Amino acid sequence: MKLGRRDFIKLSCATVGALAVGSTAKAQLFPGGFPNPFRPPPGKWFEGDVTTSYSYCEMCFWKCGMKVSVEGGKVRKVDGYLENPKSRGMLCPRGQAAPATTYDPDRLKKPLIRVEGSERGAGQYREASWDEAFDYIAEKMFAIRDEHGTESVAFMGHGTGDEWFASYLPGAWGTPNAAKPSVSLCTAPRETASVYTFGRGIAGHEQIDWDETDYIVLIGHHIGEDTHNTQLQQFAQALTRGAKLVVVDPRFSVAAAKAKDWLPIKPATDTALLLAWINVLIEEEIYDAEYVEKYTLGFEQLAEHAAQYTPEWAEAITEIPADTIRRIAREMAAHAPRAVLPVGRHVVWYGHDDSHRMRALYFVNILLGNYGMPGGYYLCDAPIVDTFPAPELPLAPAAGGCGGGPVEVGDSPFRPSVDRGKFFGTATSVQEFIEPMITGEPYPVKGLFAYGVNIFHSIPMVERTKEALRHLDLYVAIDILPMEHVMWADVILPECTFLERHDDLNLVAHKTPFIQARFPAVEPMYDSKPAWWIARELGIKLGLGEYFPWENIEEYLDRRLSSIGSSLEAMAEQGTIVRRGRPYIADWERLNRNPFDTPSGQLEFYSERFAEAGLDPLPVFIDPMEGPSGYYRLLYGRSPVHTFARTHNNAVLMEMDSENSVWLNTREAERLGVSHREYVYLENQDGVVEGPVRANVTERIRQDCVYITHGYGHKAPLMKLANGRGASDTHLQTRYDLDPYSGGAGLRNNWVRIVPGAPDPQHKSIAQLVRERSQA
Amino acid sequence: MTTAPRTTPTETDVAVLHLLLQLIAGTYRSPADALRDDLVSGALAEACAALAEALDLDAPGLLAPDWTTLQASYIDLFVSSGNGIAAPPYVGYAIDGELMGPSAQLLGAAFSDHGIELQDAWSDLPDHVAAVAEGGTLLAHGARPEAALALLEGYLAPWFERYATAIEAKDVSGFYGPMTKFLQAAIKEVTREARS
Ligand code: SF4
């Protein structure tokens, strides 16, 4: 080798100089050189035979279409594919990291039954066969039924398999107490508001016409942190196209960093801002009068009602200058109908206020004339595929979906759900199951199934939930990992991961409605089983075999697909069937059809049904619950590489984001003497303490609130990567306020103070834990 | 079957190894101002020329890439692409077909043994090709050139072997394709010379 006069070429040190790694071994000498694992070189996996199958991702519930490549019996790679409208060829990091969950050595491996006489939560289990586990569960369920009735068994479910555990099996068994956290702890207000305004729900795929819009106002929407693959792709493309962006958020979010205007609103006052925008659009007569005249009901009442909500009134509440409020309203109007305020997903913030806020948001969109128009909200319905022929379920549907549609017990012989009568909507509220477990009112809940729901990281008042679990006669957890709540169950049933199983067809309401299928790429590891199998086998043990007349899932899926002229074999070849949609009002009018399924057939500003129920027929602003002085309102959101509390034992994702931090305004940090990245505790208004958690001292948040990402702070020693990292927002949520319209639990009514001086927990790196785990 | 270097490397060997690892690290990091500066100033081209001269190779014919195209190309090749990325940028994945798999773990343990740790600010996987090469520069610099050479041979070379062709085929920037071809040739030459 030779290196001449240019021996000392200097590249920019930032290009290549110690940015990723640092050395702590200044003068050490290391005998033995660097280990080389390829002596002799192994076979080249990538030259082996690769088989590919279709699936859809379950790492979050956007459910992107996925192709799974297997070599040597192992999943080697997952990719999106272009023909699938939810992935459009790409997956987010969580999707890419899916194999790391399948191959997570901490997975649940066999059915487990709690050791007789041991405490719930003590984690003492014995292994059991599936048959024994089902016998155990059936015996307890029959005992509960005989003493209290079938309704005294409740079901909670989240994920694709929840159709079996939060709808089908409860319907067959006969309990209306089946619910999904994705409703009352997430979307309920937006769905109730949508159904009573548009006559249509929002459901799992927000119908924003990103490809056509020119002006976007994000209010309560953390796109970029809340990462839904194609939504993010389309949002990015809209900005690249030149669409203007305004972000309303107490925090300078990722999206705010892309915005032309960031409006740092005082938390809990968004409804006031929306009402002021309604005021300006109407008072200045810059709303779409023709659209309003043609498609809406109750405009006169709205105009009269909104006259009081001037920008000056809103400024005093929101701390956003009246001039800015007016300017943004005028800009929206100037771009209408290609101006849109997208609906957010997690909207249970303040309880009493949430449905008002969602209706006000929809009203601004309607005044801009964008609902069912290019650049606004498009219209969509899910494709129709017949169900498998089976006897009618005694009680169906049990739980609403994400859409949280009305669930009525009607004339059936079953008692209504335990939360009936507490609020106007009819979807079942998952958090309202807890008190009846303890008090027995209105009737006792004595059995509980938790399918894929982390009940200690979703339902507020965790200690109360634990207390409720102690009162049960039966608690069954069906999951993939030994989450903390799982280790409280009487029976633990290990589900296999989505890469190892079939699931039901996914029917997606979309601009181009589509059907996608999931095929197992590899056999289930250990003694884990898919949800459909668990539900069917348990159903048979419960004497409900007539409702499960198929022999296996292949027969079930093939029969369903035959109703649309397809087959399981055909789906194995194509993965997705895409239909033509009717996204705009004009598409419906051409067919002489009305897309608005409200009582009036119009978009309803004024709701007679709310008025009849003694509720406000028009949205109002209600002062939020306040907290004690010296405390900050606790806001929470998402990490872009994690989903809920589900992905925090995934080695790849934890390597990318292994603990959360609490965002604290710089001036508040100075006042408290807290420095950046120092560990602190968070203590809420009821004395509950979480942490240690790092302080993220930043100008990017207002002084009256703090923010953490959700899903951290696991207290689950068997999840070796997740355990004990960061702080849990759910554990700090010891009070909530019920939305009287939707039954949603407003979770942002909790306040925390910062307690400096927490010890550094000296976490091992994720890579180190992974190494230790594999050596063990 | 590979063998360990037989002789103690000379100062020039170390300088060449160090420069090669620097160039790998700089090329596959997410493109930012530093790379742009080195492209604009000609420092990168000059470094490539020096390495080429040292190894009797042809220097890469770098087009003057449009910066936006280069950034988009990086995303398309290594991060996310509607047609599938050309090269997952993880050396352990190239070897095992698994993220954070056995090779990534061995590599992490070896770095750790050599006192090299990831910085907190690094939010990608530890066996990202740029981070591994950067770790290699510290080894080469820190009187452990044989360890840097083993790293190059055992971990970086397989990544190039696995993905270089795909990168060259898919690159539209005129930067990643030629650089990858050149760096792969340089790795071959350095390891060949070290073993000769
Ligand atoms: S957005 Fe990401 S995690 Fe969610 S389904 Fe798509 S690829 Fe999977």
Instruction: Give this complex's ipTM.
Output: 0.87
Q: Does B16 touch chain A (CB under 8 A)?
A: yes
Q: Which residues of A562-586 are buried (b: 16+ CB within 10 A; e: fewer)?
A: eeeebebeebeeebbbbbebbbbbe
DSSP tag of B144? -
Among A21-25, A65-69, A365-369, B181-185, which is the least confidently predicted range? A21-25
Percent of chain A residues topping a pLDDT of 90 = 88
Q: pLDDT, tens digit, for every residue of B54-112?
A: 999 999 987 677 899 999 999 999 998 888 899 999 999 999 899 999 899 999 988 98
The answer to whether residue B71 is domain-embedded is yes
Backbone angles phi, psi at B36, to 5 degrees: -60, -45
The answer to whether residue B93 is domain-embedded is yes
The answer to whether residue B162 is domain-embedded is yes
Q: Does A655 touch chain B (CB under 8 A)?
A: yes
**Domain spanning A208-378+599-612: CATH 3.40.50.300:** no
The answer to whether residue B129 is domain-embedded is yes
Q: Out of 3.50.50.60, 3.90.550.10, 2.20.25.90, 1.10.3720.10, which CATH number does the structure's domain A47-102 have?
A: 2.20.25.90
Cross-chain Cβ contact B138/A77 below 8 Å: no
Q: Per-residue pLDDT for A513 more than 70?
A: yes
> Which candidate, A267, A208, A210, places its Cα nearest to that of A239?
A210
Q: Does B35 touch chain A (CB under 8 A)?
A: yes
Sign of CA dihedral A44, A48, A52, A56: negative
The count of domains in chain B is: 1
Q: Out of 3.40.50.740, 3.20.20.10, 3.90.79.10, 3.40.50.1860, which CATH number does the structure's domain A112-185+382-578 have?
A: 3.40.50.740
Among A123-132, B21-30, B32-41, which is the least confidently predicted range? B32-41
Q: pLDDT, tens digit, for every residue of A192-215?
A: 999 999 999 998 899 999 999 999
The answer to whether residue B136 is domain-embedded is yes
Peptide bond preceding A337 in cis form (omega within 30 of 0) = yes
The answer to whether residue B4 is domain-embedded is no
The answer to whether residue B2 is domain-embedded is no
Pocket of ligand 1 (CB under 6 A): A 57, 59-60, 62-64, 91-92, 94-95, 227-229
CA of A80 to the centre of ligand 1 (A): 10
Q: Does A550 touch chain B (CB under 8 A)?
A: no
Contacts of A78 in chain B (CB under 8 A): none
CATH number of domain containing B77 = 1.10.3480.10
Residue A769's alpha-carbon distances to A649, A699, B68, in angstroms, are 11, 34, 39
- Which residue's CA lies nearest to atom 5 of ligand 1? A63
The answer to whether residue B61 is domain-embedded is no
Percent of chain A residues topping a pLDDT of 70 = 92
pLDDT of residue B5: 47
How far is A139 from A742, CA to CA, in rounded Å?
A: 36
> Which candidate, A81, A62, A63, places its Cα nearest to that of A206?
A62
Say which residue, A15 or A228, is predicted with more confidence: A228
Contacts of B54 in chain A (CB under 8 A): 1-4
Q: Are A82 and A88 in contact (CB under 8 A)?
A: yes
pLDDT of residue A21: 63
DSSP string spanning A286-354? -S-HHHHHHHEE-HHHHHHHHTT--HHHHHHHH---HHHHHHHHHHHHHHTTSEE----S---SSSTTH
CA of A95 to the centre of ligand 1 (A): 5
How far is A535 from A456, CA to CA, in rounded Å?
A: 24
From A67, A229, A648, give the residue whose CB has the most ligand 1 atoms within 8 Å, as the site to mutate. A229
Q: Are A503 and A489 in contact (CB under 8 A)?
A: no
Contacts of A656 in chain B (CB under 8 A): 123-125
Helix (H) and strand (E) counts for chain B? 10, 1
Q: Are A425 and A192 in contact (CB under 8 A)?
A: yes
Domain that holds residue B35: 11-55+66-195
CATH code, A632-774: 2.40.40.20
pTM for this predicted structure? 0.93
Q: Are A521 and A55 in contact (CB under 8 A)?
A: yes
Residue A499's alpha-carbon distances to A57, A109, A537, in angstroms, are 8, 16, 21
Which residue among A30, A34, A656 sits closest to B124, beta carbon to beta carbon? A656
How far is A682 from A94, CA to CA, in rounded Å?
A: 28
Contacts of B113 in chain A (CB under 8 A): 30
Q: pLDDT, tens digit, for every residue of A577-612?
A: 999 999 999 999 999 999 999 999 999 999 999 999
Q: Write down the mean pLDDT value for chain A.
A: 93
Q: pLDDT, tens digit, for every residue of A631-671?
A: 999 999 999 999 999 999 999 999 999 999 999 999 999 99
Q: Are A578 and A87 in contact (CB under 8 A)?
A: no
Domain ranges of chain A: 47-102, 112-185+382-578, 208-378+599-612, 632-774
**Single-letter amino acid code for the residue at A192:** T
CA dihedral B59, B64, B67, B73 (to 10 degrees): -60
CA of A205 to the centre of ligand 1 (A): 13
Contacts of B16 in chain A (CB under 8 A): 1, 3
pLDDT of residue B62: 74
- Which residue's CA lies nearest to atom 2 of ligand 1? A92
Cross-chain Cβ contact B44/A40 below 8 Å: no
- Minimum distance, in Å, between the CA of residue A389 and any CA atom of chain B: 39
The two three-digit tokens of residue A621, written as one number: 């602003």
Q: How many residues does chain B have?
A: 196
